[in-house]
A and B are shown apart, each in its own frame.
Chain A
Amino acid sequence: MKPAPFRYERAHDLQHALELLAEHGDDALPLAGGQSLLPMLNLRLVRPAVVVDLNRIEGLGDIRTAASGGLAIGARVRHRLLATDPAVRAHAPLLAQAAPWIAHPAIRHRGTFGGSLALADPAAEWPACVLALEGTLVLASRARGERRVAAADFFRGLYDCDREPDELLVGCEVPARAADSRSAFAEVARRHGDYAAVGLAIVARGMPGRGAHVRVALLGAGDTPCVARAAATVLAEGGDIEAAARALVAEIEPRGDLWYSAQAKRHLAAHLLRDTWRTVRDA
C-alpha cells in the first residue's frame, strides 16, 4: 500500500512542467490534486519513473473570463472552488450544481477540475458536465504549443482521452451562458460521494417546440461520458417527457456492474431525466 519509488519533480511554472513531460514522456505522470493518482500509486496500479507535481504552478488554479465571454477554468481549480465561486454560479451554474456530488469534502479540497477531465473516468462528474456545456479543452506541450479540443472529441474511451504523454491539460473553457439557460444535475449512488451508478447533466434554453436547445450528458452510462442526442431532441421539440425517457433508454449502452445491471442503469437514467427536466422546465 505504498508507492513504488519514483522521482518527484515539482514544476515551478508551466514551462518547467512541459519541459519535464517532454523529457520523460510516457515515464512521467502529472500530479494535480492526487485524489485518483495517489490511490493508484499506493496500490501500485501505476509505477511512473517521474511524478511531475503541478500544484505550485501559478495561474493554473484561476477562474477567469475567457476572450469568448465564457469562463476559462484553470486545470488546477479544485472541486471545492467550483462549488463556491460566484463567477461559476453566475456563468456556469451546472458546475456549481454538480460539485457537491463529487466524493466527500476532504477529497473536494484537493481534487482538481483538470485532473478529473484528463483522467477521463466515465463515472466522474466533470467530463459529463463539460460535454453538456459544450466546453473546449485547452492542452499545451513544449513541442506543439497550445491546442484546443472540443469536449465532444476529447473523451475517447475508458480512461482514455485526446492527451499525448508530453501534453498537459491546462484548462477548460465553457461558453458564455445564455440569459434564459437553465441547468440541473443529479446522480444515483449507493452512498453519497461514492461513484455514481449513473448521473445526468442537463442544460436547456428557449421554449420547447419553439427553437429550444436542450443538451443532456450522462456519466456511468458507458465507456465514456456520453451525450443523449435523441432524448434531448424530443425535449427540445416539445415532446412528452415519457417519449424522451424512452429515447434515452434506447440510445445509451451502459455496462452492468456488481450492483446495477445495464437494465437497472437505463431505468435510473430515465428517472434522472424526468427529475432534472422537471427542475429546468419549472426554473
Chain B
Amino acid sequence: MSAVREPPERWRDIELEVNGERCALRVPEREHLADALRHRLGLTGTHLGCEHGVCGACTVRVDGDAVRSCLMLAVQAEGCRVETIEGASARDAVVQALQAAFVERNALQCGYCTPGFVLAAAELLGECAAPSREAIRVALSGNLCRCTGYQAIVDAVEQAARRLSNSEPPR
C-alpha cells in the first residue's frame, strides 16, 4: 500500500448531556457519535449495523430529534442533549409502551435493530397518536430488520398506539 498522507489523530474535549447527565469526554475528532456512546460511555444499546446511514440501528435522539448517530461526529454533539435507548426506556412512557408491545407481538428475534425501531416509532407516535399501518411503514422505512420481518413490528407499533390512547387495556 502506498502511504496516504493523512493528518495525525486529533483529540478534542467536549461536554454534552447524555440521558440527563452532564458528561465530559475526550474524543478523536473523526469519531462518530455512536462509537463515542458505545466505547467511551458504555451505552451499548446504540447498535451499529451499516455505519453509513442505511440501517437505522444506531438511531438516538439529539436535542429531541431522532437521528443516525453514525452520521454525526461526536464533536458535533458538543453542548447537545443526547438520549439513547437506555435513557429513553428508563423515562419515556411511549418508549416503554413500545418495548412492551414489541415483546408481546414477537416483533424482535435477534433484537439488533430493535433500539432503532423503538426510537423511530416513538417519534412517530409523538407526532401522530393513531397512525395507519401505511404511515407506520413509511415512518419506519429507514430501519432495517433482517430476521423478524416487518409485519410484527407494524403490529407492535399499532398496539402501543392503541394502548397509549387508552383504547386497549394492558394485558
Contact = CB atoms under 8 A, between A and B. Distances in A.
Given A34-B71, A42-B52, A106-B66, A5 B141 contact: no
Contacts of B76: 34, 53, 55
Interface residues of A, number: 33
A51 B73 CA distance: 11
Interface in B32-74: 32, 35, 51-53, 56, 59, 65-68, 70-73
A5 B142 contact: no
Nearest to A40: B52
Interface stretch (B6-14, B18-26, B82-90): B6-14
B98 interface: no
A1 B35 CA distance: 11
B131 interface: no
A53 B77 CA distance: 12
B117 to A, nearest CB: 11
Closest 10 CB pairs of A and B: A104-B142, A39-B52, A8-B29, A1-B51, A38-B71, A109-B65, A192-B141, A3-B30, A193-B141, A106-B66
Contact of A5 (B12, B30, B120, B137): B30
B32 A42 contact: yes
Interface residues of B, number: 37
A49 interface: yes
B59 A2 contact: no
Contacts of A55: 76
Interface of B: 4, 6-10, 12, 28-32, 35, 51-53, 56, 59, 65-68, 70-73, 75-76, 120, 123-124, 137-139, 141-143
A91 B129 CA distance: 30
A206 B13 CA distance: 59
Contacts of A1: 51-52
A165 B52 CA distance: 25
A110 B70 CA distance: 12
A35 B52 contact: no
B53 A107 contact: yes
Interface in A1-22: 1-8, 10
Nearest to A50: B7
A10 to B, nearest CB: 8
Contacts of A42: 32, 51-52, 70
B141 A8 contact: no
Contacts of B143: 104
A51 to B, nearest CB: 8
